[in-house]
Amino acid sequence: MIARLNSFAKFWYDFFVGDDWTVAVGVVLALAATYLLSRMALPAWWITPVAVLLLLAFSVRRKVRSCE
Residues that bind other proteins (CB under 8 A): 15-20, 23-24, 27-28, 31-32, 34-35, 37-39, 43-45, 47-49, 52-53, 55-57, 59-60, 63-64, 67-68
Residue closer to other proteins, measured from CB, 9 or 57: 57
CB of 1 to other proteins, least distance (A): 21
DSSP letter string, 10-48: HHHHHHHTTT-HHHHHHHHHHHHHHHHHHHTT---TTHH
Residues 6+ apart with CB under 8 A from 19: none
* Phi, psi for 18 (deg, rounded to 5): 80, -160
CB of 6 to other proteins, least distance (A): 18
Residue closer to other proteins, measured from CB, 6 or 36: 36
Q: Which amino acid is at 52?
A: V
